[in-house]
Structure 1
Amino acid sequence: MSRRHRAKKRTILPDPTFDSRLVHMLVNRVMKDGKKSLAYKIVYQTLDQVAEKSQKDPVQILEEAIRNVKPLVEVKARRIGGSAYQVPLEVNAERGTVLALQWILLAARSRSGRSSVLKLTNEILDAANKTGGAIKRRDEVHRMAEANKAFAKFRF
């Protein structure tokens, strides 16, 4: 990260099918090695399966899953006087969405099974129902912040 200038914020355009910025953010995070068409295929098949299993709008289910996984606080390491403290900080909305997407994908990739579409589908449905690996991760982060509440005075 450059110390000289702050990176400019790029605007994310909505995806062509669902006209949703959130879906496009998910596609960008699913993508590996610049294979965006493959990422689109995976995400669209996932959203089709989500709609099939839940009988609801898949974008609304995805938004609900993101809302459930989004953390309110996180801990950041801060060095003070030679020792590192885990300082709890509030998470702004955009960073919360990014963290939620990362955690959902991480939990989906760590699931057992072969099909990435099926793993991502099940993780999104679990997150919407407040269960699964991503929700566990959020609770863990909240517990860490609660345990280190005494160091909140070191906020920067």
Structure 2
Amino acid sequence: MPCAALTRTHDDLQRPITPVYSPQTLEEIKRVQLQKYYKAPEDERRNIECNPYNVFHQALSNCQPIIGLTSVVKSGKSYQVPTPLTDNRRRFLAMKWMITECRENKHRRTLMYEKLSQALLEAFHGEGQVIKKKHELHKMAESNRAFAHFRWW
């Protein structure tokens, strides 16, 4: 069964990315994790997650921002106001950032499913460009905290 989180469509092709990338990406994640598992000593093996679905969902939950910014125009001036995000918006932003980061920032010769699996593994371990983007958004929301009272206008 295809993972529901990968049913976003390509911008230009308008077809779901699930049948194209999902099996190969999950297979690549499992292969990398099993290599780590077999190279690790016995006592560290139980800490390595080999199930690619768990890795995928944990990586996406690590990428989800908690708070976002919305523009509010007040007295002819635009303010970036921090607002909490809904679950759907959080999930959408995490997937969007993951896919755009894979499209733009990796080598051209690398296949998309390899880029995606590498980015997911980085996010699973709490590092990578998508996690940086999430922390950047949270820093901006923290710096604009003074404008939070504009949220109701």
TM-score, reference length from structure 2:
0.81
Deviations 1:8-58 (A, max 9, x none): xxxxxxxxx35x422xxx23245741344x751222111110111113111
Deviations 1:96-133 (A, max 9, x none): 11111111111111232221111111001001111111
One-letter amino acid matched to 2:4: R
Point out the structure with the larger helix share: 2
Alignment partner of 1:60 out of 54, 62, 71:
54
Aligned residues of 1:27 and 1:43 also touching (Cα < 8 A): no
What is the root-mean-square deviation of aligned Cα atoms in Å?
1.7
Q: Residues 117 and 31 from structure 1, CA distance in 2 versus in 1: closer, same or farther, beyond 3 angstroms?
A: farther
- Deviating beyond 4 angstroms after TM superposition, the runs of 4 or more aligned structure 1 residues are none
Aligned residues of 1:30 and 1:105 also touching (Cα < 8 A): no
Which is greater in Rg?
Answer: 2
Alignment partner of 1:50 out of 29, 32, 50:
29
Alignment partner of 2:101 out of 99, 102, 107:
107
CA–CA distance in 2 between the matches of 1:39 and 1:32?
15
Q: Any idea what SS the aligned residue of 1:106 has?
A: helix
Alignment partner of 1:69 out of 58, 63, 69:
63
Aligned residues of 1:69 and 1:100 also touching (Cα < 8 A): yes
CA–CA distance in 1 between the matches of 2:11 and 2:29?
19
Give the 5 Å matches for 1:1-156.
17-18=1-2, 20-22=3-5, 26-30=6-10, 32-36=12-16, 39-55=18-34, 56-113=50-107, 114=109, 115-156=111-152
Q: Any idea what SS the aligned residue of 2:7 has?
A: helix
How many correspondences in the alignment?
Answer: 135
Aligned residues of 1:86 and 1:148 also touching (Cα < 8 A): yes
Higher relative contact order (CA 8 A, sep 6+): 2
Unpaired runs of at least 5, structure 1: 1-16
Unpaired runs of at least 5, structure 2: 35-49
The residue that corresponds to 2:38 in the other structure is none
Aligned residues of 2:9 and 2:15 also touching (Cα < 8 A): no
Q: Residues 31 and 48 from structure 1, CA distance in 2 versus in 1: closer, same or farther, beyond 3 angstroms?
A: farther
Aligned residues of 1:77 and 1:87 also touching (Cα < 8 A): yes
TM-score, reference length from structure 1:
0.79
Q: Any idea what SS the aligned residue of 1:79 has?
A: strand
